[in-house]
Amino acid sequence: MQVIEYGEPITLDICSSEASDISKTSKTWQHKLKLTRPPFKIKNLPCGKFELSVKGVAGFIKVGKTTLEIAPKFLNQETSGSQWRKAMWKFLAYGHGIQALGHTSGNFSQDEGIADILADIFLKSLNGASTRGYPLGYKSTRLDSAFVTGRLDPAKYNKLIPVSGKVGVITSKLSKDIPTNRLIKWAGLELARTVESPERRKKLKAWASELSGVSSIPPNQDQVPALNQQYPHISDVVEISKLLLEDRKSSYGQGELSLPGFLWDSDNLFERATRRLISESAKPLGLSTSKNTHRMAKTYINGESKFTNTTPDIDVCLNDRSALILDSKYKNKGKHPSNEDFYQVLAAGRVRAVETVALIYPSSGTGLSYNTYEPLGVGFPSKVITTTIGLESFATPKALRLLKNELTSWIKLNTSTLEQ
């Protein structure tokens, strides 16, 4: 069932226990994604059904028999037509700095859900893995051996006498049960539990059997090394699995209510994608980007001095000098930006003595559009630009390339005073 974030509520014909599970799910994802409020709001209707609305997240989860597909506010069937899922996954990949979802396309219809689309991409990325092989690594193993290989096992010192012809040793053996393989096996099985298509579920489970002897417990992100040149054929599926690992399955104490699915914090994803987009567009101009905290004001409390700081999302720099300050806002801009957004970016621009600052908002459609405001009074900033980025630009490489070209020209225009 599809619901649009920040959209109209949908009606669910579910029992009270499933509604309770959705409520628990909401609190868990709130904690996991560090959201200021629960993303799901479920309300009991007089007719015995329930009303569900979603804010601040996109993705898909499965609770009991209910599969929920949460479409982003600016990329859904109503705003973007039948290509919305394609644009969403390209935007997701771009925001996470990976290429796999951007260049891999599966065989699916436009009516299929997000989970099935991702599963199709996952399976296609595994083509050839069974014949070309999976990574191997050395793993510490305890065994009884007629030869002393490795080192003696202290836990079996009491069995050295009487002599049996074998001794307990701890040695290293080549194994497939290493973090990389555990990661992709976990991701495949999680997708198998979430997809709607029985055929894809069967394919995912059949593939997982190729990694028999490999644990399906996922490793920590930092345990998965970068792939060397021996295994480029599984680089895409490892990237996808790392992406999914950021939103692990949830469990609740006793009984372990397992909830397969993956959600993304829309605010965070938009900021990440915007930062990468500005960085790649500014690079041809010899400019760099960063996210820095700047001291904004010094206050004295009972004789003790303290600083108030500001941290704009994107600081475009020439060497160490700020050239343009930008803040991303995942919300409808409306006719004018809110006073809060306006003051926030103005303060950062004043601290860095930047002539131009900007607020960046998402929108449906493609390309770039902007309005300019001129603050009254003296001093910098002298311009505040509200800019909207059409997220459907991520649907095709050509549209994304055009968007970057537009942004490069826009950045050049608004940093021209550096050349003077």
Residue extents of the structural domains in the chain: 1-82, 96-136+176-259, 137-175, 267-419
Contact present, 135 and 235 (Cβ < 8 Å): no
Long-range contacts of 250-256 (CB under 8 A, 24+ apart): 250/25, 250/28, 250/29, 250/32, 252/24, 252/28
Please tell me the class of the 267-419 domain. Answer: alpha beta
pLDDT for the residue 117: 79
Residue 324 bridge partners (DSSP): 316
User: What confidence score (pLDDT) does residue 169 get?
Assistant: 65
Q: Please say whether the dihedral angle defined by the alpha carbons of residues 235, 240, 241 and 243, taken in this order, is positive or negative.
A: positive
pLDDT at 150: 62
Residue 11 has what pLDDT?
94
Under-50 pLDDT residues of the chain = 106, 249-257, 420
Q: What SS3 string covers 86-140? A: HHHHHHHHHHCCCCHHHHCCCCCCCCCCHHHHHHHHHHHHCCCHHHHCCCCEEEE
**What pLDDT is recorded for position 257?**
40
CA 9/CA 95 separation, integer angstroms = 27
pLDDT at residue 118 in the model: 81
Q: What is the pLDDT of residue 114?
A: 75
pLDDT for 4: 93
Query: What pLDDT does 105 receive?
Result: 52
| pLDDT for res 253 | 36
Structure pTM? 0.78
